[in-house]
Each structure stands twice: as C-alpha cells, then as structure tokens.
C-alpha cells in the first residue's frame, strides 16, 4: 500500500478530550464525502469542511510508497523528546481511506500512540489507540463505538439525540466554523447546559492561532 499525504506537522491537539496534547498531525489526502474542490461543495455530502486536503503539496506532505516510509516521516516531524509519549493524530480528508494495519504497525514500532479523526463511514483497522468519530448528516455511520464522538453542531438533519446512545466514552458538540460560528457556539452552549452528557469542544488552535 502507498500513501498520499497532504501535510505532516507538529502542534497541540486543538479539539476534544485530548485538547492541549502535543501531537504530530498526519493529514491524509482525499475524502469520500467531498472532492475538496470549491465548485463541488454545494453538492457534496459534507459541505462545511474547514480543511484543504487536496494533493500532497503541504508542509511535510508527499507520496510514501511503504508504511515504514510514512512512519519515518511522522517520526521526523516529532519535535518532542524521544523519551516523551509520542502521539500521532491521523486525519484528513478521511484517513480511513488509506490508514491500514501496516501503517499502524509501522507507527507503533516507532513508539507512537495512534489517534484518528474520522467521519465514521469506514471500519477502523486494528492498532488504533484513540478513535474520534465525527458523524455527518447524510453519511451512513458504520463506526458505532470509540473514545469520543464529536458532532459538529448544528447540522440540520442530524440531531445530537440521534447519536447520543452510541458506545463512546465522551460526547462533544463542536460549533460549526464558518459564517455563523457565533450563533453555532451560542446554540452549542445552550444544548450542553440542557443536556449535561454533552460537553463543548472549541477549536482551540484557531482561537490562539497555531496550526
Ligand atoms: C477536517 S476533519 C478530517 C477528519 C474526518 N474526515 C472527519 O470529518 O472527522 C477533522 C475534524 O474537523 C471537524 N470539522 C470540519 N469542518 C468543521 C467546521 N467547519 N467547523 C467545526 N469543525 C469542523 C470535523 O468534523 C472533524 O471532527
Ligand atoms: N491543532 C489542531 N487540532 C486539530 N484537531 C483536529 C484537527 C483536524 O483537522 O483533524 C486539528 C487541526 O487541524 N489542528
Ligand atoms: S468528512 Fe471530514 S474531511 Fe471530509 S469533507 Fe467532511 S469534514 Fe472535511
Ligand atoms: Mg482542522
């Protein structure tokens, strides 16, 4: 298996239960819910995406012909001490179009704990330590369990109650960024106040201006 990666960078996880933790982000190219091209956004299944995941031209990005080459590139981006808890967040685009058992094994061999950010439409291979599922209105969910469920809110056709009984440790509402972020944030706060099993996830990296 070869891998197409948009960018690989070292930063703090900005979202969810592990916000604040140092991590290498490995952003895989491509998604099954949007082409990534602006002209296709109005007809895409997922229309609110905040990310450029097209191509392999970002910092640290490229085409890696083996799992070990991919893991080596992730290791190169790790800027913490080698004795520290190494952590990689596999995201995209949709990482599960490409992340397989071999890639997980190669990352683990280099000492990485592995997290994924996924839209939940593709099965998760074994070897992933932390599963964050972010369901999308109109996209059938196949991943019904994991560590955190992070719902971008509001989504007209997908209410929190429709996913609140799934088998996750943490339930987060993340205000939809874009034109209406302020209203989305107000609504998310109100929902969490009324439904304490849900917690607020802010995109803290955007608030402080880091990647
Ligand atoms: C760019 S996605 C990549 C991973 C995967 N495709 C997914 O959707 O979970 C990373 C995270 O950003 C969230 N996200 C994308 N666009 C957003 C937006 N406009 N506002 C808030 N969160 C957003 C996604 O729901 C997901 O939790
Ligand atoms: N700092 C930071 N945290 C993140 N958490 C999830 C992200 C993503 O795009 O998947 C992301 C990201 O792009 N940057
Ligand atoms: S599923 Fe994830 S990567 Fe794909 S378009 Fe939606 S938010 Fe972006
Ligand atoms: Mg992001």
**For 25-47, what is each residue's pLDDT tens digit?**
999 999 999 999 999 999 999 99
Exposure of 16 by Cβ count < 10 A (0-12 exposed, 13-18 middle, 19+ buried)? buried
Instruction: Pick from 87, 205, 211 the residue to mutate for probing ligand 2's pocket: most ligand atoms within 8 Å of its CB.
Output: 205
Q: What is the pLDDT of residue 1?
A: 87
Asked whether residue 37 is marked as a ligand-binding residue, the answer is no
Exposure of 81 by Cβ count < 10 A (0-12 exposed, 13-18 middle, 19+ buried)? exposed
Assembly ipTM: 0.99
Asked whether residue 50 is marked as a ligand-binding residue, the answer is yes
Structure tokens at 176: 């939809």
**How many whole angstroms from 8 Cα to the centroid of ligand 2?**
11
Q: What is the pLDDT of residue 81?
A: 79
Query: Which residues does residue 24 pair with via DSSP β-bridges, in sequence order?
Result: 10, 88
Among 3.30.420.40, 3.40.50.300, 3.20.20.70, 2.40.240.10, name the CATH number for the domain at 3-150. 3.20.20.70
Terminal-residue alpha carbon distance, the chain:
28
Q: What is the DSSP letter of 95?
A: G
Q: Give pLDDT < 70 ranges for the chain.
A: none
Q: What is the pLDDT of residue 147?
A: 99
Q: What is the pLDDT of residue 82?
A: 73
Q: What is the pLDDT of residue 65?
A: 98
Q: From the candidates 7, 28, 46, 53, give the one annotated as an active-site residue.
A: 46
pTM over 0.90, yes/no: yes
**How many whole angstroms from 48 Cα to the centroid of ligand 1?**
8
């Amino acid at each position: 298996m070869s891998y197409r990666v948009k960018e690989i960078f070292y930063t703090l996880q900005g979202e969810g239960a592990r916000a604040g933790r140092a991590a290498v982000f490995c952003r895989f190219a491509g998604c099954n819910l949007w082409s990534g091209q602006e002209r296709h956004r109005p007809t895409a299944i997922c229309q609110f995406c905040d990310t450029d995941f097209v191509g392999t031209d970002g910092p640290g990005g490229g085409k890696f012909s083996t799992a070990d080459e991919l893991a080596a590139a992730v290791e190169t981006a790790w800027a913490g001490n080698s004795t520290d808890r190494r952590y990689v967040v596999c995201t995209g685009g949709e990482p599960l179009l490409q992340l397989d058992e071999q890639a997980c094994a190669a990352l683990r061999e280099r000492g990485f704990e592995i997290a994924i950010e996924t839209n939940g439409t593709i099965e998760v291979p074994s070897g992933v330590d932390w599963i964050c599922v972010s369901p999308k209105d109109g996209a059938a969910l196949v991943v019904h369990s994991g560590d955190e469920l992070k719902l971008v809110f509001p989504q007209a056709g997908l209410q929190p109650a429709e996913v609140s009984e799934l088998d996750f440790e943490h339930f987060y509402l993340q205000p939809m960024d874009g034109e209406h972020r302020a209203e989305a944030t107000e609504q998310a706060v109100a929902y969490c106040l009324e439904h304490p099993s849900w917690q607020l996830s802010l995109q803290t990296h955007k608030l402080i201006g880091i990647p």
